[in-house]
């Protein structure tokens, strides 16, 4: 039911999130997973170029975004783009760490759902993105959704992780 989009290893691909990496758009707590599966999700970033300014301003803000994850970037452009990031902060946070209530990804972790690099980010800003996870409620029973949510939870919460997390 899930592999066609998330891959048989659940690692996803461009536009389809990796479910094994502990990086969550909408949240990885068991109740959030049940909610995602039952109702589906819609990630919605509006086109932002008009709010940012000129094409050069858009390039600058893209380099600022690259700097947030320590990715290679042009530091002059990044400095110029920082002020423009206020247009993004409402969803991605002033610190760029995202907001799960809005499905806005963390831009500081070097995990890229829609591709890495200046061009990918410029395209996100210019075109925005609507990304849909279909609701499973009509296809699966509540019990099946529960089992699948537990399975997904387990993909990024390995026993070893729990053991090392203990004091
Ligand atoms: C038709 C394609 C499609 C199918 C089928 C599908 N998904 Fe998704 N799924 C997506 C997309 C696209 C997103 C990202 C939505 C967004 O960008 O907010 C997503 C998001 C998710 C998320 C949220 C990830 C996060 O980071 O918060 C979970 C969990 C998830 N899917 C699990 C599943 C499971 C389990 C199944 C099978 C029962 C499934 N999906 C079936 C396309 C699909
Ligand atoms: C209204 C909320 C909102 C605003 C404002 C917004 N974004 Fe987004 N952004 C999102 C959402 C939601 C997604 C995830 C789309 C999806 O689910 O596929 C996203 C995705 C992205 C991505 C892709 C991340 C990845 O992992 O590939 C980048 C880059 C990005 N935004 C940059 C920006 C920049 C730069 C600005 C400001 C110019 C901005 N965003 C403004 C909501 C927003």
For residue 25, the domain's CATH number is 1.10.760.10
Give how many domains the chain has, as a whole number.
2
Cβ distance 59 to 122 under 8 Å? yes
| Ligand 2: residue whose CA is nearest its atom 16 | 43
Residues 65 and 118 in one domain: yes
Residues 84 and 117 in one domain: yes
Ligand index nearest the alpha carbon of residue 123: 2
pLDDT band at 158 (very low <50, low <70, confident <90, very high): confident
Residues 146 and 112 in one domain: no
Residues 120 and 166 in one domain: no
Distance 16 CA to ligand 1 centre (A): 7
Residues 153 and 79 in one domain: no
Residue 158: both structure tokens together = 């390995």
Residues 149 and 90 in one domain: no
pLDDT in tens, 12-38: 999 999 999 999 999 999 999 999 999
Q: Is 10 in the pocket of ligand 1 (CB under 6 A)?
A: no
Domain extent at residue 4: 1-40+134-167
Distance 93 CA to ligand 2 centre (A): 11
Residues 35 and 100 in one domain: no
pLDDT in tens, 56-84: 999 999 999 999 999 999 999 999 999 99
pTM over 0.85: yes
Distance 46 CA to ligand 1 centre (A): 20
Distance CA 82, CA 126 (A): 17
Residue 93: both structure tokens together = 């946070």
Residues 121 and 143 in one domain: no
């Amino acid at each position: 039911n899930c592999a066609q989009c998330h891959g048989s290893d659940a690692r996803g691909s461009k536009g389809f999130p990796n479910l094994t990496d502990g990086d969550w758009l909408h949240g990885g707590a068991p109740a959030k997973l049940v909610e995602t599966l039952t109702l589906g999700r819609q990630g919605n970033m509006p086109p932002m170029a008009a709010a940012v300014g000129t094409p050069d301003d858009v390039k600058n803000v893209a380099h600022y975004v690259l700097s947030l994850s320590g990715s290679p970037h042009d530091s002059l452009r990044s400095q110029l783009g920082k002020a423009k990031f206020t247009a993004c902060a409402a969803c991605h946070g002033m610190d760029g760490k995202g907001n799960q209530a809005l499905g806005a990804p963390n831009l500081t972790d070097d995990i890229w759902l829609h591709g890495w690099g200046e061009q990918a980010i410029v395209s996100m800003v210019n075109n925005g993105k609507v990304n849909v996870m279909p609701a499973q409620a009509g296809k699966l029973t509540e019990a099946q959704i529960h089992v699948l949510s537990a399975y997904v939870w387990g993909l990024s919460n390995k026993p070893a992780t729990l053991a090392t997390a203990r004091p």
